[in-house]
A and B are shown apart, each in its own frame.
Chain A
Amino acid sequence: MERHPARKYFRAEQAEVPHLWCSGCGIPQVWHYTVKAIEELKLDIDKVLWVGGSGCTGRMCTYWVGDFLHTLHGRPLGFATGAKLANPELTVFCHMGDGEATAIGGNHLIQTARRNVDLVAIVINNFNYAMTGGQFSPTTPLGAVTMTSQLGHIEYPFDLCELVTTCGATYVARWTTFHARPLINSIKKGIQRKGFSFIEVLSQCPTQYGRRNKMGDGVQMMKWLKESSVRRENAGKVPEADLKDKFLIGEFVDIEKAEYGASLRELIKRRGG
């Protein structure tokens, strides 16, 4: 029997299989898009480290066949920074959920972006904390129903791409799970850019967020994501009233700037170490 082409990247023997994600979830799609990018760039598996935290997205790294560092809720970027500084040869991915990246891990996110550490940070934004049963996160839209906003959500959501742009990230993009090809291309760019690359992936969570907001199954939610997103270069052509409740997708930042590890190694050179 022919093996699935992604099989060589999948840690089947030592991981929880079948995987723990629900039917229709967007997270395993992003897992696949990440290995597609790795495959297309022909990266050496033994030089690729996946780092994750806690929650549904945090588990992604535990299925990566190579080195992985499955860490604390909200803190994978700190661990990823340490590993990258200790071994600059590694390509380091850090997959995070919206809750862990922006609530409990908010400071790690802004500081890592500010330092411009050479990592690929991918936030899978499914608008809620899913593993704990679907509570609101800093990206939950106003009015949405979750287990802790049963009367409708009253907090304003974060715009993550604007946030990390302000913090100094050198590559910033947003896509949805529907936009497979541009997302894979962005992941490839993120790998190739020397600096903090941030990719937000809007994703469906039919089990928790979708169910409570009557959005249908995984396929229907992906359709919703597709129809709710507008390419940023087309935003000017859309009447402003229609842009309300739409997600801008595309590349927001792609610049060059000194990378943290490189700057540190410059200090070593200067001190003769």
Chain B
Amino acid sequence: MNRRILSGTYLFQGDEACAEGALAAGCTLFAGYPITPATEISERLSWRLFEVGGIFVQGADELDSLTIVIGAACAGGKAMTATSGNGICLMQECIGYAAITETPCVIVDVQRAGPGTGIATSTMQGDVYQVRYGSNADYAIIALAPESPQEMFDLTVEAFNLSEIYRVPTFILADEIVGHMRERVVIPEEVKVVERKKPKVPPQEFVPYGVESDTDVPPMPAFGEGYRMPVSGLTHTETGAPSTDYEVQKKMVTRLWNKVEKRVEQLTKIESAYLEDAEVVVLAYGSVARSVKSAILEARRQGIKAGYLRLITLWPFPDRVIKDVVMKRPKAIIFPEMNMGKMIREVERVAGGKTEVIAFPKPGVELHKPGEIYDLIRRAI
């Protein structure tokens, strides 16, 4: 029996589905520090990983956890950590390190109410900027926002693959509702897994951070394979030598930025319905999308031309799909978020005043009710 891919149908919590997604994607090491509402991911992997020859480490804190994950990835592992709230704060230093060293790793943030310790057992979508911009200076990451336990499985597999392809820290930006909700999860017979690109040239011809003409992602050997790999958090040249030169800094930072931001089209995942004739478009991501869908169905039943667009990829931000919505000149775009209004700034930037963008912020704890969203749609019409 394939213990990595537990093919079948289950009633899983989102956190459990995430753990199974990691296993199916080929995760070989997980390190995490207990924190509500992400702890169940650690708990499941603390025994499941050993069944597939992997290793579970309970970190001494979130710094310890992510350093272990990055070290393991550099030595050829596929590694993940999971956290929330204060934990994602502590990880920021390591996130920047993973970005500059281009170390593939998956970071699951099951967001909880804050700021500070906030309400550990309650939901929020407060970390959407923190995972994008939390570490010092400029880099880019990928972030995917699941709306269900099924997507906790599917997107965790996807996150591993993207992280390996682009050598970039990749986030599952879940929230407490999605993490703790139990729902039907189908694990397929086969899962598409992408392996890290290794150098094709022998060690003496290898340029550690050199890129081939068709890509801007350098191949990555593991420690111990004879490539004498230099990995450093210092600004470095293609050979891995530290440098304080402006041209070196410009080239490195630009590549780190562009390898994600210039690939926005390939990285964009969305779900949408009823957009063709929509007079009002409701945007959402994560668990809020569930309420939005019910509100849209109710609006349609009442003959109101409402549509919805769910952002699955939050970062890089999909400007083009928002622009497409704006170009159809709906009366309004409504954006309920479980924060004081964060991703809406990106939408307002793209809309450029051409369409009214209505915020519906809630600072976590309580999910938007379908009725509340429906009322807003009616008022906008």
- Checking B51, B67, B77 against A78 with a beta-carbon cut-off of 8 angstroms, the contacting residue is B67
Which chain B positions have C-beta within 8 A of A71? 67, 70, 97, 233
> Are B232 and A82 within 8 A (Cβ)?
no
Within 8 A of A (CB), among B219-245: 222-234, 239-242
Interface residues of B (CB under 8 A from A): 3, 28-29, 31, 47, 49-57, 59-61, 63-64, 66-77, 79, 93-94, 97, 222-234, 239-242
> Are B67 and A273 within 8 A (Cβ)?
no
User: CB of A108 within 8 A of chain B?
Assistant: yes
Given contacts A75-B63, A81-B68, A90-B223, contact A270 B75 (CB under 8 A): no
> Are B50 and A87 within 8 A (Cβ)?
no
Given contacts A66-B228, A72-B94, contact A79 B240 (CB under 8 A): no
Given contacts A46-B224, A67-B228, A71-B97, contact A83 B72 (CB under 8 A): yes
> Are A86 and B67 within 8 A (Cβ)?
no
Residue of A nearest to B69 (CB): A82
Which chain B positions have C-beta within 8 A of A241? none
Interface residues of A (CB under 8 A from B): 11, 13-16, 45-47, 49, 51, 62, 65-72, 75, 77-87, 89-90, 107-108, 111, 264, 267-268, 270-273
A66–B203 CA distance with the chains assembled, in angstroms: 11
Which chain B positions have C-beta within 8 A of A67? 223-224, 227-231
Q: List 6 A-B contacts (CB under 8 A).
A: A14-B240, A47-B224, A67-B229, A79-B67, A107-B61, A273-B49
Given contacts A82-B77, A82-B79, contact A70 B234 (CB under 8 A): yes
Q: A70-B230, A71-B97, A267-B50 known; 8 other A-B pairs, CB under 8 Å?
A: A68-B231, A79-B71, A79-B74, A80-B71, A82-B67, A83-B71, A85-B29, A86-B74
- Checking A49, A75, A273 against B3 with a beta-carbon cut-off of 8 angstroms, the contacting residue is A273
Given contacts A70-B234, A82-B75, A273-B3, contact A87 B224 (CB under 8 A): yes
Residue of B nearest to A114 (CB): B60
Minimum C-beta distance from A253 to chain B (A): 21
Which chain B positions have C-beta within 8 A of A11? 228, 230
- Checking B51, B64, B230 against A68 with a beta-carbon cut-off of 8 angstroms, the contacting residue is B230
Residue of B69, B222, B231 contacting most chain A CB atoms (<10 Å): B231
Which chain A positions have C-beta within 8 A of B242? 15-16, 62
A78–B70 CA distance with the chains assembled, in angstroms: 9
> Are B97 and A72 within 8 A (Cβ)?
yes
Q: Which 9 A-B pairs have the closest CB atoms?
A: A82-B71, A78-B67, A86-B75, A79-B71, A86-B77, A70-B232, A82-B72, A82-B68, A86-B72
A68–B231 CA distance with the chains assembled, in angstroms: 6
Residue of A nearest to B59 (CB): A78
A85–B73 CA distance with the chains assembled, in angstroms: 10
Which chain A positions have C-beta within 8 A of B29? 82, 85-86
> Are A85 and B231 within 8 A (Cβ)?
no
Given contacts A67-B229, A79-B71, contact A13 B224 (CB under 8 A): no
